[in-house]
Amino acid sequence: MKIGIIGGTFDPIHNGHLQIAENAYRSFALDKVIFIPSGCSYMKEHVSEAECRLAMAKLALQKYNYFAVSDIETKRPGNSYTFETLSELSAQCPAEYYYIIGADTLFMMEKWKSPEIIFELSTILVSVREGFPMDELRAKKDELEKRYQARIHFLPTRYFPYSSTEIRARVQRGADVSDMLADEVYSFIQSHKLYV
């Protein structure tokens, strides 16, 4: 069983997230991709309630039988740590795990708690958008592979011009974001008056 993992605040989950997951699913012949909204994120402030972010993820993914959502982090008390999540998942469901990250994240992973466990329990798939400085990225990949015996692969990804931060700002300004989100997520944001 080959399982992709994509984590984040998903505040809100948008079409760029789905595009990256779809790309990983097809490029690495994964059996499924699990989206894991973070619980108490120690790296970000002013994050929406976990229940809202979890609900939006479920709505965005309901049409895909190879995507799933896990509440493993939102129900865990205290800070969310990736190494704990991967350890728990590996114990519950032994599988070949692929942890999907953005290119910028590869440079920060050593600062995470227990990065050696993350590298041991998963293959890292790095989503690389066009125009990213590849020399720096390849150098970091080589460094991590040597230091941690990490398994790292690049995943070329079509550029998605909006981040969750930009989408929240656009909603606050009253701008239209319907083409950036699943219809159900857009309706949820409107009906719950999120980000206004």
Whether 67 maps to a domain, the answer reads: yes
CATH number at residue 34: 3.40.50.620
pLDDT at 26 over 90: yes
By residue range, what is the domain housing residue 114?
Answer: 2-162
Whether 52 maps to a domain, the answer reads: yes
Instruction: List, for residues 40-62, the tens digit of each pLDDT value.
Output: 666 566 789 999 999 999 999 99
Separation of alpha carbons 93 and 1, rounded Å: 9
Give Cα separations from 69 to 45, 108, 140, 176 (angstroms): 23, 25, 30, 26
pLDDT at 191 over 80: yes
Q: What is the gyration radius of the CA atoms in the chain, in angstroms?
A: 16
Instruction: List, for residues 3-20, the tens digit of each pLDDT value.
Output: 999 999 999 999 999 999
pLDDT of residue 18: 97
pTM over the 0.75 mark? yes
Whether 39 maps to a domain, the answer reads: yes
Whether 48 maps to a domain, the answer reads: yes
Separation of alpha carbons 93 and 159, rounded Å: 33
What is the identity of the amino acid at 32?
K
Whether 110 maps to a domain, the answer reads: yes
Report how many domains make up the chain. 1
Whether 76 maps to a domain, the answer reads: yes
pLDDT of residue 39: 85
Whether 24 maps to a domain, the answer reads: yes
pLDDT of residue 77: 86
Whether 179 maps to a domain, the answer reads: no
pLDDT, mean of residues 73-90: 93
